[in-house]
Amino acid sequence: MPVSENTPSRWLLPLAILIAMLVRFPFWAEAWRTPLDADTAIIGLMARHPASSLTMWGQPYGSPLDAWLAAPILALMGWTPQAMRVFYFVLGLALVPMTHAMGKRLHPGAAFPAALLMACPPAYYLLLSAMPPPLYPTTLLLCGGLLILAIDIGERTTASARSLRRLVLWGALAGLALWTHLVAASAVAVTAAYILVKARARRTSFYAALLPLLVASSPVWIRAGSSISPTRLLRVADPHRETIEHLRLLTPDLHLPLGGILGIHAPIVADSGEHVVSAPRITSLAVVTIWAFVLVGTLIAARRSPPARMLLIAALLAILAFMLPLRARPNTIRYMTPLYVPLAALAAWTPVALSTRRRAAILALSLAALNLAGASPLLIAWHRADRDKAPFLLPDLSGVRRALENRGIRRAYASYGPAYRLTYESGERIIVSQPRNERFPRMKLPYHDEVRFAKNVAWILTPAIPSDLPAPDTFESALRATGGTWRRLDVGPAVLYFDFAPSRSSKVMTIQAAGCAGNGDPGSTVTLAPRSPLLLRFARPVKMAGLAFVDAARGSTLPAEFDVDVSEDGKRFERVHERRRRGYGLWWANGHPEYVTDPDFCVIDLDGQRVGAIRVTTPEEARDGFGEILLHVGGDDAANRSWMEWLPLDLTWNARRQALAGDPRRDREDWHYRSAIAQRQ
């Protein structure tokens, strides 16, 4: 579409946006019929609770920025999968005017060609415009905004109120970019250096940007030393030799992510290394040739343009920043995505600087046409792909949702993907949590305690979706080993387990010999000295169904490691429990099975064993202790009925604490269990 130099400039940006919409429409149509993935569902759920977290739920990285931006659109359109799609469609389109503004900063004649290169981008950026991994479109917008602001600030030769405002804005955006994703560090570094170089005698004014930068990025650097810091996930290797080895292995394959950025190939879903489509060979050859000429021309022309040099350095630094994190792999193209925006602006500007605007338009049209030709295999692959199968693995869960609703089940456990999808698709009418954090075991899960607190809980296993949850046969074997009953229902891609009934009653007794851990007060605690056992003796052997250890209601948790031995005669002891860090097993608590995750509750089944003495030891210094040690005596023919719900489901945590304190049921295991959970909120 040739554009005359006489075309009114005010129509060029709307024209570029219209072209972008036409190009993206087939990709949007494919995204529209694709169920949301779990990461996108998390953003939608966070938009319902905008002040709930400083990271992306269940992950140690990311900011709530996507959720904050999505909230108005979701409030307007409803909390639906389609609303989340529209939100990311809009974010993808926003890159077009941003690239237009960047090209215009270099030269007015580069504005429309730059916008055209973003309107018709390589295949990976069309993926980002339709079905992106969250955080990346916003990160690209923030990086682009930093580059544009740096050019504007650098043009000011004297300090003024306007330049100070721009510095403050740059600092806030830089901090927000680092908080949202550390791949933005390259853009932050190069723009900071550019501003300092251009400032010359007024460099002290740069301090105006430091405070907003530090404040906006504080969620990152405050956690920098912790084991769940984002800086550890994307860290430069330590020790030094590991960095060298990482670079040695990655460098020979650097052409693969670069090829993904330029449109030579693209994964069907972000970062898939196995499901990749390639552009036609002649298209790839033409793309590489044009970009090689652009690079040479940019190196020549940029000598006379400081803003162009900054953009060129930003592009090169994006490549370097991609190589350093240990998680970078040839298929992790998303880590290199900040490269294309300054590259598009430079590609549009170079012909203008060396020749004429007409040649800039010709080059942009040529690359745009090649990009579309290279993206067509991705569109075809999306159209043909079965969403139930790899690489999408997004089966329709509406049947599972109906099965839960028909049985009045509103809380459930499932693996990562189905858990967040079901929660979002049901509008939180059904809340589903992972039984433990599959990706980052030390990170708290947003819905985990909500499910643990409930009674009528289901388990949803999806064997076709990879996770660390057991296969149905393995799960049933574990259930049989722990006793109790349940029902099973196969629903489409899922196996549903519900109507759980433990083999023991909810009735418990405190153990007077346990001292503060046997007085019925969950606020008191007994701590153990290392290897100094707590020995509990009974006047005569007691037939026990089980033991329950509960943490204190306030300010304490169970020791991370402790052992329990029992004896009938008080002389010969048998080990019945060995708790170790990161170990987990399936047990019954609150009337349903769950995996051990947090050290706040521990149940030991003794199956009617006669016990005259209990010995509890810890192999290490125990800063925490036991709030209560409870005894399940014998069996109970009414075990099923004793676990029936006695609290309304939809109470707030504050109302739950009040209800538990106002109606203490110290003879029930679930009262102690729920009190421990509620006090932690």
Does the pLDDT at position 24 exceed 80? yes
Q: What is the pLDDT, as a whole number, of residue 517?
A: 74
Does the pLDDT at position 672 exceed 70? yes
The secondary structure element, H or E, covering residue 360 is: helix 357-384
Alpha carbon separation from 291 to 279, 470, 527 (Å, rounded)? 16, 49, 68
List, for residues 364-420, the tens digit of each pLDDT value. 999 999 999 999 999 999 999 999 999 999 999 999 999 999 999 999 999 999 999
Distance CA 472, CA 494 (A): 10
Q: What is the pLDDT, as a whole number, of residue 2?
A: 44
Record the pTM.
Answer: 0.90
Does the pLDDT at position 552 exceed 90? no
Distance CA 297, CA 680 (A): 62
Confidence of residue 200 (pLDDT cuts 50, 70, 90): low
Helices 38-48 and 416-425, axial angle in degrees (round to 10)? 40
Does the pLDDT at position 233 exceed 50? yes
Higher pLDDT, 134 or 249: 134
Residues forming a β-bridge with 534: 616
List, for residues 564-594, the tens digit of each pLDDT value. 999 998 889 999 888 765 556 788 888 899 8
Confidence of residue 232 (pLDDT cuts 50, 70, 90): low
- At the topology level, CATH places domain 509-680 in Jelly Rolls (2.60.120)
Find the Cα–Cα–Cα–Cα dihedral 391, 20, 313, 281, rounded to 10°.
60
Does the pLDDT at position 234 exceed 80? no
Confidence of residue 138 (pLDDT cuts 50, 70, 90): very high
Distance CA 323, CA 321 (A): 5
Does the pLDDT at position 82 exceed 80? yes
Q: What is the pLDDT, as a whole number, of residue 1?
A: 42
Lowest mean pLDDT among 129-133, 288-292, 325-329, 631-635: 631-635
Distance CA 560, CA 260 (A): 46
Higher pLDDT, 250 or 163: 250
Higher pLDDT, 117 or 628: 117
Q: What is the pLDDT, as a whole number, of residue 22?
A: 98
Alpha carbon separation from 317 to 124, 142, 181, 184, 367 (Å, rounded)? 20, 16, 16, 11, 23
Average pLDDT, the chain: 88
CB burial class (10 A; 0-12, 13-18, 19+) of residue 363? buried
Q: Which are the contacts of 358, defined by CB distance < 8 A and separation ≥ 6?
A: 5
List, for residues 264-277, the tens digit of each pLDDT value. 999 999 988 899 99
Cα 367 to chain centroid distance, Å, stands at 34
Whose CA is closest to 404, among 492, 480, 463, 465? 492
What residue type is assigned to position 311 of the chain? L
Contact 354, 304 (CB under 8 A): no
State how beta strands 457-461 and 411-413 pair.
parallel
| Tokens linked to 394 | 């997004």
Does the pLDDT at position 122 exceed 90? yes
Q: What is the pLDDT, as a whole number, of residue 163?
A: 78
Alpha carbon separation from 257 to 323, 335, 336, 347, 492 (Å, rounded)? 10, 9, 7, 19, 37
Q: What is the pLDDT, as a whole number, of residue 113?
A: 97
Confidence of residue 635 (pLDDT cuts 50, 70, 90): low
Q: Would you list the DSSP string of 451-466?
A: HHH-SSEEEEE-TTS-
The secondary structure element, H or E, covering residue 550 is: strand 534-550
Confidence of residue 206 (pLDDT cuts 50, 70, 90): confident
Q: What is the pLDDT, as a whole number, of residue 237?
A: 46
Mean pLDDT along residues 38-63: 93
Does the pLDDT at position 8 exceed 60? no
List, for residues 415-449, the tens digit of each pLDDT value. 999 999 999 999 999 999 999 888 887 788 999 99
Confidence of residue 621 (pLDDT cuts 50, 70, 90): low
Q: What is the pLDDT, as a whole number, of residue 231?
A: 58
Domain spans, the chain: 12-221+240-384, 398-501, 509-680
What residue type is assigned to position 387 of the chain? R
Alpha carbon separation from 493 to 120, 401, 462, 479 (Å, rounded)? 37, 12, 6, 21
Q: What is the pLDDT, as a whole number, of residue 521?
A: 72
List, for residues 501-510, the tens digit of each pLDDT value. 888 888 888 8
List, for residues 463-503, the tens digit of each pLDDT value. 999 998 999 999 999 898 888 899 999 999 999 999 998 88
Q: What is the pLDDT, as a whole number, of residue 513?
A: 76
Mean pLDDT along residues 603-624: 81
Whose CA is closest to 264, among 378, 362, 350, 341? 378
Q: Which are the contacts of 498, defined by CB distance < 8 A and separation ≥ 6?
A: 407, 409, 456, 457, 458, 459, 486, 487, 489
Distance CA 27, CA 382 (A): 8
Confidence of residue 516 (pLDDT cuts 50, 70, 90): confident
Q: What is the pLDDT, as a whole number, of residue 239?
A: 45
Three-class DSSP category at 162? helix
Mean pLDDT along residues 84-95: 97
Does the pLDDT at position 87 exceed 70? yes
Does the pLDDT at position 17 exceed 60? yes
Three-class DSSP category at 420? helix
Q: What is the pLDDT, as a whole number, of residue 178?
A: 95
Mean pLDDT along residues 109-127: 97
Q: What is the pLDDT, as a whole number, of residue 3?
A: 47
Which of 135-149, 317-331, 578-592 ranks highest by mean pLDDT? 135-149
Which of 350-354, 500-504, 520-524, 545-549 ranks highest by mean pLDDT? 350-354
| Proportion of the chain above pLDDT 90, given as a percent | 60
Does the pLDDT at position 292 exceed 60? yes
Mean pLDDT along residues 311-333: 90
The secondary structure element, H or E, covering residue 488 is: strand 485-491
Confidence of residue 238 (pLDDT cuts 50, 70, 90): very low
Contact 452, 434 (CB under 8 A): no
Distance CA 306, CA 680 (A): 55
Q: What is the pLDDT, as a whole number, of residue 430?
A: 97
| Tokens linked to 325 | 């994190």
Q: Would you list the DSSP string of 276-334?
A: EEE--HHHHHHHHHHHHHHHHHHHHHGGG-HHHHHHHHHHHHHHHHHHSBTT--TT-GG
Q: What is the pLDDT, as a whole number, of residue 175?
A: 96
